[in-house]
Amino acid sequence: MADTTSSGQSGGSTSNTIDSNHTFYIRPSDNPRAMLVPVQFTGIGFCSWRRSVLRSLSMKNKLGFINGDCPRPQSNDSSYRQWERCDDIVTSWILNSLSTEIADSVEYVQDSAELWKELEDLYEQTNGAKLYQIQREINDLSQGSLDITGYYTKLKKLWEEISTLNAKAQCTCSCTCGAKALTHKAKQDRRLIQFLMELNEMYTITRGSILMMNPLPSMAQDFSLLVQDEHQREIKPSNHFNVESTALHAGNIRPSSSNAKPSSSYKTNYAPNNSQGHSQLQYKDRFCTYYNRTDHLVEKCYQLHGYPTGSNPN
């Protein structure tokens, strides 16, 4: 759907149809009350908020209004009114994405480019201070109570923030000697070691296996191995319980034949020769909370837990 506007010069009017790919095109869904990001900026986390805003404006083909690619035309230009209308809606989007206090302080800017520059001057930290803060967070970060996914996600976010600050120092030219690929591999290996260093001690064996690989695996492969190990640890206690329950059940099964002898492979906790500290008590001191009577404990109540193999319930 094309946007049709009318602009008058010398008392006349001219109808201009704007292509949907043009920067001045406003879609029907472009509401001036909309927000560019789901969470308003309150003064903390400007870098993350900035990236989200730039991504949203790029999707709407309005990024040129704040980065200088679409400057303000002359007032007598035929496209001036179209530009002004688009700039106003971009300004509204950015203001709606700010908290009330911050929006009030920058409300009287002339255009979206001035608004964006003022926000960067106010809240964008210098690279040195920001690098120091992020690197300190990385050094202090350890797995602790986090699972593998939570720990990796938190660390990866800090790595991406450092990469964003160092974007201008990254080489974008084509490389034919292979040095660029080797540099990237060395960077990924350093991050892998950094990730493995602060894992909990329960992953010592898996960590050692990863470090023995030559060459070192990628972060994706390392993450996959650790997640598998984590899942195995979650399943193991359940399997262990099932084995013990099966053994207890097998020990309580009576022989189907009168000539069959009871198996001695399994022992229950209620065998007379089993001692768990309660055998030192006298019969009169033993009290069962299930029957509310003396002579035995609830841990060895046959009626509650089952009778030993070969015994007579009567």
Give tens-digit pLDDT for 7-44.
433 333 334 577 778 888 888 888 888 899 998 998 88
* pLDDT score of 168: 60
Specify whether 21 is located in the same domain as 119: yes
d(CA 148, CA 48): 23
Question: Domains in the chain: how many in total?
Answer: 3
Specify whether 131 is located in the same domain as 220: yes
Specify whether 138 is located in the same domain as 93: no
Q: Please state, rounded to an integer, the average pLDDT across all residues of the chain.
A: 78
* pLDDT score of 265: 45
* pLDDT score of 241: 47
* pLDDT score of 288: 76
Specify whether 80 is located in the same domain as 14: yes
Residue 41 lies in a domain: yes
* pLDDT score of 299: 73
Specify whether 69 is located in the same domain as 92: yes
Residue 172 lies in a domain: no
Specify whether 110 is located in the same domain as 150: no
All residues at 6 or more sequence positions from 206 whose CB lies less than 8 Å from its CB, including other chains: 225, 226, 229
Specify whether 19 is located in the same domain as 92: yes
* pLDDT score of 314: 61
Specify whether 134 is located in the same domain as 213: yes
* pLDDT score of 207: 93
Residue 20 domain boundaries: 3-123
Specify whether 108 is located in the same domain as 33: yes
Q: Which of 199, 214, 234 is the last residue of a domain?
A: 234
Residue 87 lies in a domain: yes
Specify whether 107 is located in the same domain as 183: no
Residue 252 lies in a domain: no
Spans in the chain with pLDDT lower than 50: 1-15, 238-241, 243, 246, 255, 257-258, 260-279
Terminal C-alpha separation, the chain: 90
Residue 259 lies in a domain: no
* pLDDT score of 283: 58
Specify whether 112 is located in the same domain as 145: no
Task: Judge whether 148 and 230 are in contact, CB under 8 Å.
Answer: yes
Specify whether 144 is located in the same domain as 219: yes
* pLDDT score of 16: 57
